Amino acid sequence: MMQGILFACKGVHSGREIIFGYPHTIYKEHCTYFDSVHFNSSLSAISSEDRNKSVLGFPCSVLADLLCPKRELWDIVMDISIESIRFIGYPISLGSKLKKKSRILRSKSLRLIEQDIKETKEQISAFNVIMVFDMDSPLLAYHQGIRDAIIRFNTTLKFEHQRTNFLSTEISKLKSISSTTDDEESFVLSALQESLLAKHLQEIYSSVSSNRECRLFINNWLVCNLQISPEYNIPEIKPYHSLLLLDFYDKIQEQLGPFTSSILSLMVKHFRNPIKSFEDINNELEIPYSSLFPAAQHLVFWKKAKIIPALGLNSIIAVGPNWKYTQVLNGEFDRVFQGKVGSFADLLNKLQSPIMLRDLEVNKIKGKKLITVLTWLLRKNIIEDYHYFLYLFPKNLPKETKKYYSLNEPIPRDLLSQFLAQNNDNSEQYSIFSKVAPYGTGKFIIEEVSWKEKISQEAIISCVNNYSNLIRAVMHA
């Protein structure tokens, strides 16, 4: 598991200190992971009162020296293990670009000490944000992603500090809060209400602990995206695909912010419902795939969208086998659609078995007019889209080619040509069949065959029906 996150710094006059830790349980006393250690700290300028405090059983003075090291170790990744605890950080120097200008605090409950904070801001020469893990934490499988996230966050903090003296303001604020609270739990709770830095650290801890993306607005404006598992597998995108937004358009647009790229905003707008394909967008707006696909992958990576084949009148949908009804979803359905498409139960009843969109009718509403509600159902993983996969059943081939009857062994091109020649009747249907047959491995959906061979889906289905003794279309999710 992840034990917590710490902020340490080296003050120009105050020495090395641990300023903040989250969650409050990280401040453990009478517990140490050392078997036997002499705690000598000649470097930290911490009061005797603070020396009695501990983090994960270590005296704060010892950890401060360890996590904010000597100058030679600044600006390089720190990855150290002590007994059963692993610390990963990036101590970073602030150089000589530190600005002297004060900023007005946003604190409401600390108005009485605001002027004092302005006058006594902490000047710091280095700082470090450290993630703390158990040695056996599964999250450490993403240790490189953790390192990259720490570097990105600390570098972003440095930029904002050199621009606005952000860290000095926050450190002064946190010290003032600490002096007015009786215990560590009260200190952390008050800090989360008053300090932007504390809130940022809490967000990082919550996101990393659950291995999900973290989108921060440093000092309420500077965007910083963090993700510890960049190995996330983004599916290949084809022109016949569409983008299923995993939230409503306006919410995603708001999350993207005013400074997002125009291509992302454009995609979110045109993919409100997944009825247009990337090919449609390419043709209508003349945006190249080289721009469309990376933008789509960005939205998928940050779990704002999902790649699916575009919905059309021939699309087949049904309630997923693993979905379970809940009153919460029922209530959300009623709030979103307000009875315009009937009851939730009636709609689900219509979708118990796979049905083509053109044949679906709910509350006297048919076809594409149901796209909005179907998009919501897909977003909630209530329904799945089903597709036809092609399977070839060759006949009259030599006995030595029986192994190629297995779907794991594609028929070699020369044997496939032999098979096709045996069934050549020089008809238009045969011309289509000869193009479709190579895809009869059970790995291709009709939409992909249609796109690759420039043959309509209706023509492919007609061909499959005509050669049903040789090729079949099997439907599954």
Asked if residue 210 is part of any domain, the answer here is yes
257 and 215 part of one domain: no
Q: Mean pLDDT over residues 217-242, rounded?
A: 82
Q: Is 228 buried (19+), middle (13-18) or exposed (0-12) by CB count in 10 A? A: buried
Within 13 Å and on the Cβ side, how many CA atoms surround 61? 16
Asked if residue 231 is part of any domain, the answer here is no
Asked if residue 443 is part of any domain, the answer here is yes
Q: Could you tell me the two tokens for 101?
A: 């200008």
Instruction: Read off the pTM.
Output: 0.52
**What was the pLDDT predicted at 221?**
86
Q: Mean pLDDT over residues 109-118, rounded?
A: 47
pLDDT in tens, 181-203: 988 889 999 999 999 999 999 99
206 and 251 part of one domain: no
Task: Examine the pLDDT at 228 and tell me if it is beyond 50.
Answer: yes
Asked if residue 202 is part of any domain, the answer here is yes
298 and 322 part of one domain: no
Asked if residue 232 is part of any domain, the answer here is no
74 and 209 part of one domain: yes
CA distance 240 to 450: 9
- What is the number of other CB atoms lying within 10 angstroms of the CB of residue 258? 7
Nearest to 204 by CA among 216, 188, 218: 216
CA distance 3 to 11: 26
CA angle 322, 328, 332 (to 5 degrees): 105
The CA radius of gyration of the chain, in Å to the nearest whole number, is 30
Could you tell me if 357 and 311 are in contact, meaning their C-beta atoms sit under 8 angstroms apart?
yes
The more confident residue out of 75 and 339 is 75
Nearest to 246 by CA among 318, 296, 289, 314: 296
188 and 40 part of one domain: yes
73 and 160 part of one domain: yes
Could you tell me if 22 and 198 are in contact, meaning their C-beta atoms sit under 8 angstroms apart?
yes
**What was the pLDDT predicted at 155?**
94
Confidence of residue 213 (pLDDT cuts 50, 70, 90): confident
Q: Which domain holds residue 328?
A: 316-381
**What was the pLDDT predicted at 102?**
42
Backbone angles phi, psi at 135, to 5 degrees: -60, -30
Domain end: 309, 338, 357, which one?
309
The count of domains in the chain is: 4
SS3 state of residue 467: coil
Asked if residue 236 is part of any domain, the answer here is no
Q: Mean pLDDT over residues 407-419, rounded?
A: 62
Backbone angles phi, psi at 303, to 5 degrees: 55, 35
Residue type, 69: P
Asked if residue 233 is part of any domain, the answer here is no
Asked if residue 153 is part of any domain, the answer here is yes
Domain end: 262, 283, 309, which one?
309
Q: Please give the DSSP secondary-structure letter assigned to residue 369.
A: G
Backbone angles phi, psi at 86, to 5 degrees: -120, 130
pLDDT in tens, 128-175: 999 999 999 989 988 889 999 999 999 999 999 999 999 999 999 999
Q: Could you tell me the two tokens for 65?
A: 């020296």
Residue type, 359: D
Domain end: 329, 353, 381, which one?
381
329 and 295 part of one domain: no
CA distance 50 to 8: 14
Backbone angles phi, psi at 408, to 5 degrees: -80, -10
**What was the pLDDT predicted at 37?**
43
162 and 294 part of one domain: no
164 and 79 part of one domain: yes
Task: Examine the pLDDT at 457 and tell me if it is beyond 80.
Answer: yes
259 and 360 part of one domain: no
Task: Examine the pLDDT at 409 and tell me if it is beyond 60.
Answer: no
**What was the pLDDT predicted at 337?**
87
Of the given ranges (38-52, 94-108, 138-152, 217-231), which has the lowest mean pLDDT?
38-52
Could you tell me if 15 and 44 are in contact, meaning their C-beta atoms sit under 8 angstroms apart?
yes
**What was the pLDDT predicted at 473?**
87
CA distance 196 to 221: 11
Q: Mean pLDDT over residues 450-454, rounded?
A: 90
Mean pLDDT of the chain: 81
Residue holding tokens 């934490």? 137
**What was the pLDDT predicted at 413?**
64
Nearest to 126 by CA among 7, 45, 261: 7
220 and 303 part of one domain: no
Task: Examine the pLDDT at 410 and tell me if it is beyond 80.
Answer: no
Backbone angles phi, psi at 319, to 5 degrees: -60, 135
297 and 335 part of one domain: no
